[in-house]
A and B are shown apart, each in its own frame.
Chain A
Amino acid sequence: MDSDSSTFQSNAPPQPSDAELIAALKSGQVNALGTLYDRYSRLVYGLAYRILGNSEEAEDMTQEIFLTLWRRDTYNPNRGSLSSFLTTLTRSRSIDKLRSRSSRLRFLQRWQGLAKTEIMGTNPLEQASLGERSQRLKSAMADLPDSERQILEIAYYEGLSQSEIAQRLQIPLGTVKTRSRQGLLRLRQTLQDFI
């Protein structure tokens, strides 16, 4: 059940779907990589920049992610959206890089579930344009109470554990857990028709 984005683009000339581009990629068409880059490079680069905090490393990471897509046959369009695959991969590699830079040596112990997102089902959000998705997510995040959004963002973009977040914000661990879970519940509710 691929999401075929071409059926949702009425005015523009028909665009190949992600699944079609991935198939072309596998047959060695560099053009397909270019189109995917045009489609997702801002997302990947923006996320890498947010986590790594500088443009040099964000560029390196963007290059690494797209070349991984080119070299390795690990993405399966039938098992999840390309967008989720790319954000999950970018986040996990960027946070690994962040950790290798710092003295923290924890590894892959948290967000195990997130790594699994790589093989999750297709989501209808894929059918919206990049700009629409961005608008929708910005407004969904803005609708969250500050206290919940802050914790979700620290956990997602900095990869801190709940107890590290509790320490940083000087609030009880239980509060961190409650707020992050409530925040995620709320976010899902807001995006219900979109996922």
Chain B
Amino acid sequence: MTHSPPPDDWQELMAGYALGDLSSEEAEAVQQLLAAHPHLSSEIDQYQEVLALMPYALPDREPPPQLRQAILAQAEAEPPSIGLFQTAHPARLTRPARPLPWKSLGGAIAALFLLAIALDHYRLRQQVQTSQQTIGRLQQEIQTTAALTAALQQPGAQLYPLAGTEKAAIAAGSLIMVPGQQRAVMVVQNLPTLPTDRAYRLWAITENATQPVLCGEFNPGVLNSETVNGRAIATWGTPDQICTTTVNQMLITTEAIADPPVPRGDLVMESKG
């Protein structure tokens, strides 16, 4: 450690941050502390690093010997790093199909949204009849749907369909803003991963602000996001309350991470309707 540690209670807050159990007041306190002492973010890194080491304490468990060959054979059959948004089809180890965990889904908005993605699922459902390989992918699709449904069921949730501009003509996605949690959940596909010093930024155009308001940033597979079957699912806490309230339009641009919160880069996606 090259710097003096913060007082004890701050250590606990940082641990809480890494554990994801801060109350909103505590989260605010951490934000303020980090704003005043940016170097303290390395403290949080350390707690996160410690958590990531926990699995080393698990009992030693050897995977079955044929698994190595199965993975390498599959890798042989594919070029590496084919790009985030090309859907790859891993050869699953042969085994019986497992039941799909469909759960009852409620909510009018959710139903509308499900309808919208039903077409996408149709193709996958066709495949499941002929191939067990598809089961795994479907489960992930369902999980994506479930995640979005859960977000949509929050009180006051807003759904914004997103379409690519000419800069990202094949990009498409949906954005959900959840006011109660000050949270954005977004699913997007065909939006390329940016270099790590750049990110996509989400901006809200509102009647109450003269400038676009920064509502967060993401980078598929790199920042605030995971990728599931070629879709990036991004989620983050929104920095400004206005983001989850009266928004006329949502815009997404590409920016350098180090840039100030003013849109300068290319407009790649915008909300419709």
A64 at the interface (CB under 8 A from B): yes
Q: Do most interface residues of chain A lie in helix, strand or loop, or is the interface mixed?
A: helix
- What is the CA–CA distance of A81 and B49 in the complex, to the nearest angstrom? 9
- A53 CB → nearest B CB, Å: 12
- What is the CA–CA distance of A102 and B82 in the complex, to the nearest angstrom? 32
- What is the CA–CA distance of A52 and B202 in the complex, to the nearest angstrom? 35
Nearest opposing residue in chain B for A161, CB measure: B21
Contact with B along A49-86 (1 / 0, CB 8 A): 11000011011101110110011111010010101100
Q: Given A63-B71, A92-B226, are A114 and B54 neighbors across the interface (CB < 8 Å)?
A: no
CB-based contact B52/A117 at 8 Å: yes
CB-based contact A114/B20 at 8 Å: yes
Q: Given A76-B196, A96-B143, are A28 and B48 neighbors across the interface (CB < 8 Å)?
A: no
Residues of A within 8 A of B79 (CB): 28
Q: Given A59-B63, A74-B221, A184-B15, are A113 and B20 neighbors across the interface (CB < 8 Å)?
A: yes
Residues of A within 8 A of B49 (CB): 81, 84, 117, 120-121, 123, 195
CB-based contact A63/B81 at 8 Å: no
B70 at the interface (CB under 8 A from A): yes
- What is the CA–CA distance of A88 and B52 in the complex, to the nearest angstrom? 6
- What is the CA–CA distance of A47 and B223 in the complex, to the nearest angstrom? 23
Of B87-95, B157-165, B241-249, B260-268, the stretch lying at the interface with chain A is: B87-95
B142 at the interface (CB under 8 A from A): yes
Residues of B within 8 A of A119 (CB): 196, 222-223
Nearest opposing residue in chain B for A92, CB measure: B226
Nearest opposing residue in chain B for A66, CB measure: B71
Residues of B within 8 A of A152 (CB): 54
- What is the CA–CA distance of A103 and B114 in the complex, to the nearest angstrom? 18
Q: Considering the complex, which residues of chain B in the window 48-96 have a beta carbon less than 8 Å from any beta carbon of chain A?
A: 48-64, 67-68, 70-72, 74-76, 78-82, 84, 88, 90, 92-93, 95
Spell out A's residues near B (CB within 8 Å): 25-28, 30, 33-34, 37-38, 41-43, 45-47, 49-50, 55-56, 58-60, 62-64, 66-67, 70-74, 76, 79, 81, 83-84, 87-88, 90-92, 96-97, 99-103, 105-117, 119-121, 123, 125, 133-134, 136-138, 140-141, 152-153, 155-156, 161-162, 177, 180-182, 184-185, 187-188, 191, 195
Spell out B's residues near A (CB within 8 Å): 11-12, 15-21, 42, 44-64, 67-68, 70-72, 74-76, 78-82, 84, 88, 90, 92-93, 95, 101, 103, 136, 139-140, 142-143, 146-147, 149-151, 181, 183, 185, 193, 196, 221-224, 226-227, 233, 235-237
| Extra contacts besides A99-B146, A153-B54, A188-B46 (16): CB < 8 Å | A26-B80, A59-B93, A62-B71, A72-B221, A88-B52, A108-B233, A111-B19, A113-B18, A114-B20, A116-B48, A117-B52, A141-B54, A162-B21, A181-B12, A184-B50, A191-B50
A-B contact pairs, 30 of them (CB 8 A): A26-B80, A30-B72, A30-B75, A41-B68, A59-B63, A59-B93, A60-B92, A63-B71, A88-B52, A91-B55, A96-B140, A99-B146, A103-B101, A105-B149, A108-B226, A110-B21, A112-B235, A113-B20, A113-B48, A120-B45, A121-B42, A125-B53, A134-B56, A138-B56, A141-B57, A180-B21, A181-B19, A182-B12, A188-B50, A195-B46
